[in-house]
Amino acid sequence: MIMLCEGVANDWSALHLRNVLDAPASTAALAYGAFATAMTAGRLLADRVAARVGPVAVLRYGASAAALGLAAAAASPWVPPAIAGWAVFGAGLSGCVPQLFSAAGHADQGAAGANVSRVAGLGYLGMLAGPAVIGPMTGVLPLNLTFFLPVACCAVAACAAGVLRPSRERSAHPETEPVRPA
């Protein structure tokens, strides 16, 4: 889901400014530039932040910030706040994917390579699917409203962040354990 959101930003951020907010092409490109710059800076800092606050917090608060940033960009009637929203979206998403890859590698030491390749494969499928899903949606909704699909994906990721806790920590927190039928 998180990489689906990245794919949407890669392919639709500049078009959002150009087609929805009527920005000149040179200005519209700043949407993707802001997203990519914030994503890059965040990825460079993600390991240090995760070491300090933990992977669950990075995913939970990063996905929440991403959802807020994209919602702000989609709702903005002006170019500068929309560009800022795309930047917040990139900063929020930046640490999420590395935490998912790390959790996959640490889940089962004997199958770390297979787990990481599965997560990567599904992630790249999401990155390809995101833009492809938004395109047909624009036939029935304005482009900016289609961005609430990735906003929802970010919200789900934020709510599900507890799955990054190692299984021994999850058992210490019974509220995160799945309910098993009696």
pLDDT computed for residue 55 by the predictor: 93
Q: How far apart are CA 181 and CA 136, in angstroms?
A: 40
User: What residue ranges define each of the domains in the chain, with the CATH number in brackets?
Assistant: 2-166 (1.20.1250.20)
Does the pLDDT of residue 164 top 60, yes or no? yes
Phi and psi at 132, nearest 5°, equal -70, -30
Helix (H, G, I), strand (E, B) or coil at 67: helix
pLDDT over 90, % of the chain: 71
If DSSP codes are grouped into helix, strand and coil, which group holds residue 139?
coil
Q: How confident is the model at residue 179 (pLDDT cuts 50, 70, 90)?
A: very low
- Cβ-count burial of 93 within 10 angstroms (0-12 exposed, 13-18 middle, 19+ buried)? buried
Q: Identify the residue with better confidence: 123 or 82.
A: 82
pLDDT one-digit tens code per residue, 42-51: 999 999 999 9
Amino acid at 70: L
CA 48 to chain centre: 19
Exposed (0-12), middle (13-18) or buried (19+): which is 122, by Cβ within 10 Å? middle
pLDDT band at 182 (very low <50, low <70, confident <90, very high): very low
CA distances (Å), 41 to each of 4, 58, 105, in order?
20, 15, 23
Residue-wise pLDDT tens digits, 85-133 = 999 999 999 999 999 888 888 887 888 888 888 888 888 898 899 889 9
Output b/e per residue, 7-37; b: 16+ Cβ within 10 A.
Answer: bbbbbbbbbbbbebbebeeebbebbbbbbbe
The H or E element containing residue 56 is helix 55-75
pLDDT tens-digit readout, 16-34? 999 999 999 999 999 999 9
